[in-house]
Amino acid sequence: MTNPTQNHTHLIRTEATRLGFSFIGFAKAQKLDAEARRLEQWLNQGFHGKMQYMENHFEKRVDPTKLVLGAKSVIVLVHNYFPKDKQLDPTSPKLARYAFGEDYHFVLKRKLKDLLRFISENIGEVHGRCFVDSAPVMERDWAKIAGVGWTGKNTLLIHPRAGSYFFLAELILDLELEADAPMKDYCGTCTRCIDACPTGAISPKGYLVDGSKCISYLTIELKEAIPENFKGKMENWMFGCDICQEVCPWNRFSTPHEESAFEPNPDLLSMDKRDWEELTEDVFRKVFKKSAVKRTKFQGLKRNIEFLKD
């Protein structure tokens, strides 16, 4: 006799793959007690810097049943964003790879809504919500629980066959599905990400990041002036930072994505150092029309570029 839970899980996995997701994992929706304690400690140490929103909705953050009434499953979806090309001028200010194309929040939300529609049409009416880094969901913890990778020493999700250049998204549903088993941690004794971080944001033992020292935080989240003590430590990053991913041995398995929405604006990669330093608001709007870079706004990006100057 066929098991409906097994069938539903297989059906969702197949459709998610068709929609372009690289890996899909399933977890039982339950309160994350150990993770809640860890988050509380992280917040108490002030590692979230000026990201006050991290303190909000604590109970919802650690309990998916507070986000979706009667939630039974958390589906974690992993989408590759590793680009085939890079910025041409090695001296130009650098942009994190995730921001090359269209804002992933919109791209993944569209795919999640398609998946939710598919579930309703093929399995039956379900109550669920889509999340793409847009609500209090501890996505990396859920990704680890759902077995789509392990949390590396840089706190990013790493998959042994594909590295870490991934976006995460979640569907929380009141549908029972087959849970996957967590994956083993393969970081071993490697400390490359810890050693390479120019601002010392990663704890000496790993698995803990002081967000207030992270270049991504300083160039994106921080709305006020970048503290002077970071002068000369930014390694030419104007938006985000990929250093801990670039040095990670597992990223030798990264392969270019196949999502047209993540292709960069044709002008973006060819802009040289001078182009960036003379950036106008018109060029900013054209190059970053649908990009996540709009989050930092024109003035924010100009601030970052100015900070990088000698």
pLDDT in tens, 69-117: 999 999 999 999 999 999 999 999 999 999 999 999 999 999 999 999 9
Q: Is the pLDDT of residue 121 over 80?
A: yes
Other CB atoms within a 10 A radius of the CB of residue 230 amount to: 16
CA proximity to 72, closest of 41, 26, 40: 26
pTM surpassing 0.85? Answer: yes
The region of weakest confidence among 22-26, 247-251, 288-292 is 288-292
Query: Domain range spanning residue 99?
Result: 1-310
Query: What is the C-alpha separation between 93 and 271, in angstroms, rounded?
Result: 10
CA proximity to 82, closest of 252, 269, 265: 252
Q: Is the pLDDT of residue 310 over 80?
A: no
The region of weakest confidence among 41-50, 157-166, 190-199 is 41-50
pLDDT, the chain, mean: 93
Percent of the chain with pLDDT over 70: 97
Counting Cα atoms < 13 Å in the Cβ hemisphere of 104 gives: 22
Phi/psi for 88 (5° steps) reads: -75, -40
The number of distinct structural domains making up the chain is 1
User: 89, 133, 180, 275: which one is catalytic?
Assistant: 133
What is the DSSP-derived secondary structure letter of residue 146?
T
| Contact in structure between 179 and 28 (CB atoms under 8 Å) | yes
pLDDT per residue as tens digits for the range 283-303: 999 999 999 999 899 999 999
**Unique residue bearing structure tokens 């709305």:** 223
pLDDT per residue as tens digits for the range 169-185: 999 999 999 999 999 99
Q: How confident is the model at residue 251 (pLDDT cuts 50, 70, 90)?
A: very high
Tokens of 24: 């899909």
Q: Is the pLDDT of residue 1 over 70?
A: no
**Distances in Å between the alpha carbon of 190 and those of 130, 196, 198, 249?**
35, 12, 17, 9
Other CB atoms within a 10 A radius of the CB of residue 174 amount to: 16
Other CB atoms within a 10 A radius of the CB of residue 121 amount to: 9
Helical (H) or strand (E) element with 192: helix 192-196
Query: What is the C-alpha separation between 87 and 102, in angstroms, rounded?
Result: 16
Q: How confident is the model at residue 34 (pLDDT cuts 50, 70, 90)?
A: confident
Q: Is 133 a catalytic residue?
A: yes
Mean pLDDT of 236-243: 98
Query: What is the C-alpha separation between 180 and 291, in angstroms, rounded?
Result: 34
The region of weakest confidence among 131-140, 144-153, 212-221 is 131-140
pLDDT attached to residue 235: 97
Give 29-88 as a DSSP string: ----HHHHHHHHHHHHTTTTTT-GGGGTTHHHHH-GGGTSTT--EEEEEEEE---S---S
pLDDT attached to residue 112: 97
Q: Is the pLDDT of residue 54 over 90?
A: no
pLDDT per residue as tens digits for the range 212-235: 999 999 999 999 999 999 999 999
pLDDT attached to residue 175: 97
Query: What is the C-alpha separation between 289 and 29, in angstroms, rounded?
Result: 37
Query: What is the C-alpha separation between 173 and 65, in angstroms, rounded?
Result: 9
CA proximity to 219, closest of 203, 204, 199: 199
